[in-house]
Amino acid sequence: MKEFFGCHAEALGFLPDKEKYEAITASPDATLYVVAGPGTGKTACLAARLLKLVLVDDVPPDGIVATTFTNKAAAELRSRVLDWGFRMTSHLAADKRLSKKKRKAVEAVDVNQIVTGTIDSLCEDMLMRYRDPGTQPPIVVDEFVAGTLMLRNGLFEDGRFRSRRFDDLLMYLDARASKFGWNVGRKTEVLAAVADRLIHDQVDTARYQQERDPDEKYKRQKLIEAVTSYREELDQRLMMDYARLEEEAFTRLRNGQLSTFVGRIRALLVDEYQDTNLLQEQIYFQLGRACAGALTVVGDDDQSLYRFRGATVELFSGFPERAAAVGWAPKPVYLQTNYRSTQQIVWFVDKYARLDPGYQQVRASNKPPLTPRANAPEGPPVMAMFRDTAEELAQSLAGMLRQVFRGDGFKLDSGETIHCQHREGDIGDAALLCGSPREHRGNTPALPGLLRQALLPDIKVFNPRGQELQDIPAVAALGGGLLSCLDPDGRIEAGIFLPPQTRSTFQTWRLSANDYPALNKKLPRNFIKGWASRRGFPERVAVLELLYSLSAFLPEFHDDAEGQVYLEAFARQLSACEQVSSFRGRVITDPNGERDAKGLNLGDRSVRDLLQHFLGPLAAGSVDVNEDLIEDFPRDRLPVLSIHQAKGLEFPLAIVDIGSSFKSNHHSNRFKRYPIGPTAAQVMEDHFRSYTPLGVPQRDDVDRAFDDLYRQYFVAFSRARDVLLLVALNSARPDANIPNVAMGWRRDGKAVWAKTPPFVEI
């Protein structure tokens, strides 16, 4: 052990702190429960623990499995393990103080064999590499394919989307009071969330449908029918979505069908355990049994944001009891030293976590305070900007950002100046974090959109999720251009089933393409005419070629960072069409083929599939710009993110919107600031939990809604490294009459910050 930490210091240039030392040095067969606050270096702790298992405890690298929540986090963990592993093994192999035998043993270590990834990649690997002879490997589909099949088989099949009672149940599960914004895309999202939850929470669907009330029974049967139709379509195609992949992996683990894989596991480490669901917990426990309880879980209940995706934070906060129930003796380890932020920010974040007495009831037991590192700068105070209107707020915020990133800095009354390092820094070092990045709420401009305009012309914003994808002008022009190429006179569109909203969007897209300047030049006009006639075309033409050729005429898709994300959404949806259509995303150009009952020849039917499975989902609002489409943020643009998007990230300057739209204490926005009822996450949880092994939640729905809001803003505030700025309207001040948990209000109605706000106004 002494040699390991000596190598750690010499090869990596530092030693782990006492908190991490406790986790790293634990015996290889220990069950560890690591509660890691924001910025406490959990990735470093995990990487060092992995390497200690290999270099000190002689655990074979291929006997170690480490998972985390996202692909990006998994890539970061793997990069850290490989980097540190190669540096430490090289250092040890060259250390003449060690015996030849030890040096030779170190040279033989291959840290590349350590298995790292997400739970889904682990399940896919198990089913792919260790399947029974003669069985098909899984075809795992992404959410574009899954969404396309859910739209077609779950919602449209048998006309379910026309059923008022079925629609009422979907609205209830989405906690909707009105049909404003209630479209096909949103219905598909709710249905997909139900499909995942049925598997993740292991819902007893037979018991769920045994409802005495005839109306409720009909709704539930329709819901299960919709999900079953979707699942049967996947099964017929030998496809699996991620939930089904996890279910199949667990079934085979439980039945002893993956004994080769399980037999080699000696240690399992799980990051972001607070975002685990019941099925995933059972997979981890099954693997944990295989390695005699050598399971390390790392997480932070304060940063659990994914209840709406089926995550059950109680599985993390209750891990000590749940692990003890299977015979393990988990050892708690607390990482409390924050290495990310200034003293001022760390103190603010920790006090916020302790603000509400009701919230303390659900936090991990014996959780210590978050503390700044020993040499952390004090930093400027947490700041707040209040203005009378969102327009004024955007203008003031834009002015401040210009001074910080394009001028001589922003001066505080204390004499401190906030400025960026002009050689290394840029506007991408700041970020606006919001509950939603949408730039409009109905017809009303929201802060992200107002700030975009206020920063022009010298500073641009990066907010690809700011508008509904189908409503973006460049997207509409590209969609209309594709329609003009594939179905110029609308003949095929007129003869197939499409929901009214999709038809309306198609019409809007066609008009947009006709009026779009970039498509009205000679070259693109001739290109579209050539495609419309198909004259001289080969028998089969890949539409991917059409997509990229047509988008080349629209500079927004190759010169603009947001446009590149939108083009990727088109490409991913086209890929989904290729997987679900028998024409594989191609246009058949032979006009003389046999016609079907509707008078469509083979070429027409190939276009029909493209309208229904490629452009249709885009027009229906079923395709969203998710995190997977955004690989990086451009350095020369201000990123605007939802708080959920920002999880796991950090920014030198974090601007958190805590009330730019709260003009009055209106009930319609209470769920965003001070809930009086459940949100969709709690409604869906309550609707199914009594039919699962988890049982009914112990806390009521409103308390859980409060808990989730406190967690959301805890995550937002802890993203800041050097400067934290809160922004809101004057009407939303802590001493005003609009209750808001982000403004220091407790659920018992006390406004803690009203008399002594923990920030400086600017």
Q: Which residues contribute to the annotated binding site for ATP?
A: 36-43
Binding residues: 36-43
Contact 283, 268 (CB under 8 A): no
d(CA 313, CA 304) in angstroms, rounded, equals 6
d(CA 455, CA 402) in angstroms, rounded, equals 8
Name every residue whose Cβ is closer than 8 Å to that of residue 33 and which is 6 or more positions away in sequence.
Answer: 297, 319, 320, 323, 330, 331, 332, 333
Tokens 């685990």, residue located: 276
Instruction: Copy the structure tokens of residue 133.
Output: 């002879």
DSSP alpha helix (H) spans, 431-472: 447-455
Residue 269's SS3 state is strand
d(CA 305, CA 647) in angstroms, rounded, equals 9
**Quick count: other Cβ atoms within 10 Å of Cβ 277?**
25
Name the phi and psi angles at 112, rounded to 5.
Answer: -65, -20
Q: What is the DSSP string of 28-39?
A: TT--EEEEE-TT
d(CA 228, CA 221) in angstroms, rounded, equals 10
Question: Dihedral, CA atoms, 338, 342, 343, 348, nearest 10 degrees?
Answer: -90
DSSP state, residue 354: T
Contact 719, 365 (CB under 8 A): no
Instruction: Copy the structure tokens of residue 418.
Output: 């906030």
DSSP state, residue 730: G
Tokens 């006997």, residue located: 63
Per-residue burial over 613-632, b = 16 or more CB atoms within 10 Å of its CB, e = otherwise: bbbbbbbbbbbebebebbee
Per-residue burial over 207-239, b = 16 or more CB atoms within 10 Å of its CB, e = otherwise: ebbeeeeeeeebbbebbbbbbebbbebbeeeeb
d(CA 507, CA 496) in angstroms, rounded, equals 15
